Amino acid sequence: MMSKNKILFLAANVLMMAAFACRAETIVVKGQGISFAPSVIKAQVGDIIAFKEMTGHFVDPVANLWPEGAEPMHSQMGADYNYEVKKEGLYVFKCPPHWGARMGAVMLVGNPADLSSTLDKYFSIAETEADAKPAKGLLKKFKETLAK
């Protein structure tokens, strides 16, 4: 038989998990032409990023423009895809076939304390690493969005 304290503990945990699940949002990102819409995303840990209308597109992280330890995004060509955000930070992702045309997006998750230094680091990487160069415009747009 369970003690009263154990029952209360289990009930409190169930309520906390339910409250967390209720706060989570689904943010839809669509593949439109050679763009993701939206291309700047603000999310919270626990949110689902739902990629829709992905005909001719798929999603991958941009190397070195991803929070350390965060699970990478990898979808299949043309398939809808859900990504559950599990870590706070700044994410840059791309559609590899259209990356030369700058089909990508920037996602801010939570309120990371090191956002300014991370953004400076990402700009530096975008200046020097060939695969990251298309991210410069996305990062600039993201920075302008922050200033508003």
Which residues are known binding-site members for Cu cation? 57, 95, 98, 103
At residue 135, the 3 state secondary structure works out as: helix
> Residue ranges for the binding site?
57, 95, 98, 103
91 DSSP β-pair partners: 107
Strand pairing of 81-84 and 89-94? unpaired
Note the helical H segments in 84-134. Answer: 115-128
110 with 45: CB under 8 angstroms? yes
73 with 95: CB under 8 angstroms? no
